[in-house]
A = this chain, B = another copy of it.
């Protein structure tokens, strides 16, 4: 909000590096940047690519309009020649990447941005912001979706995260397998189905719980969801069915021992003849709590905090690294692999890379193969990167449902242990085939 262009979602040093490179005559060197992680969050078996569609929007809207240029000039962030260069900026290079919803592993080249150094370096911050955030939420959503079996998951985390992070979280959750969201902005922006129940405040507003249920059913119909844990659950369930009839849509339980309560409430609803009334549970659920309710008569899970905070891992460790660049600004100058060589674990593998998922004889993934140069014949049709932007034009826009379906397929192609909730190593190893 209140920021005129995605171009400001940028670390200052991207612009000052551009200025220095323009000054040195190196800004036009053809460059390849890649997004990858060195590791998955501890114990996780796979990652989930999410945010790709948002990256495409951000790249399209990455323009330096007069408001932005005035700010950069007023703050003396870059010099006049750089301001002039930025005024004409639009990304004219190429972007390839793992399609949204695909799974990834350490070293997977999740996105590859190719263009002049100047045009490509500027995109670093916003691309990483989007992919790091959205992929963290999608990974949590994917685990929760496995834990939920076929039961629907409702995203309800808006109040636990930044108001726009919430919108992106609802989107990423949908990619990861959630079926709906409580967040209206996510419905507005991404056409994700929105749902809602009722809050304790609504019950407390009224003189009795019966008054509250009556008010809700009178206005919203008997298909509504009544919240039954404001006072006594058994009393509330009885009142709910008296008020709404046996066609009551759902009841929601938001506190207490959900396993025990779900059984009791189901029994009570059945006894009252409300056999089709569903039970929705909420209350700080994560994938483990969801799994623990697998045998309980629960019809849907509402998940908030643990979803939008990535269930313990609110960000991914994705980085955006220069992996190859030309020796000069001549268009035909060959690319040379480059990599940082420093201490500790922050090593990068140089070179413009492809990636393919090798399958075993049963068609199950057995390795993430990352290489440079020619793709070996057996892997050619298993390549993972797809073209997203060609010469600055987005060529791979797709409906969000495509990403959601792709994720189901990609996850199903992994070894069975991928969907264990217990901690472990990445479910397939990453192999390098660098020439």
Interface set of A (CB-CB < 8 Å, partner B): 1-3, 6, 8-17, 19-24, 26, 29, 31, 33, 58, 61, 68, 71-72, 75, 77, 79, 117, 121, 124-126, 128-130, 132-134, 156, 158-168, 182-185, 187-189, 194-207, 211, 214-216, 218-220, 224, 229-231, 233, 254-257, 283, 305, 308-309, 314-315, 317, 320-322, 325, 327, 338-344, 346
Contact = CB atoms under 8 A, between A and B. Distances in A.
Contact of A204 (B129, B196, B339): B339
A255 B341 CA distance: 11
Copies of this subunit: 2
Given A20-B218, A188-B8, A205-B21, A77 B194 contact: yes
Instruction: Point out which of A11, A197, A320, A346 has the most chain B C-beta atoms below 10 A from its C-beta.
Output: A11
A206 B156 contact: no
A257 B257 CA distance: 47
15 contacts: A8-B184, A10-B158, A17-B216, A21-B205, A24-B215, A71-B184, A125-B158, A133-B163, A161-B315, A162-B164, A164-B165, A201-B321, A254-B346, A255-B346, A314-B314
Nearest to A54: B163
A239 to B, nearest CB: 15
Contacts of A224: 16
A6 B296 CA distance: 38
B315 A229 contact: no
A182 B11 contact: yes
Contact of A11 (B128, B156, B205, B207): B156
B161 A164 contact: no
Contacts of A11: 156, 158-159, 182-184, 196
Nearest to A325: B205
A20 B159 contact: no
A333 to B, nearest CB: 12
A6 B205 contact: no
Contact of A12 (B29, B182, B338, B341): B182
Contacts of A205: 21, 26, 29, 31, 117, 322, 325, 338
Contacts of A322: 200-201, 204-205
A165 B133 contact: yes
Given A1-B1, A164-B1, A23 B201 contact: no
Contacts of A10: 158, 183-185
A145 B194 CA distance: 41
B187 A71 contact: yes
Nearest to A156: B11
Contacts of A197: 13
B132 A159 contact: yes
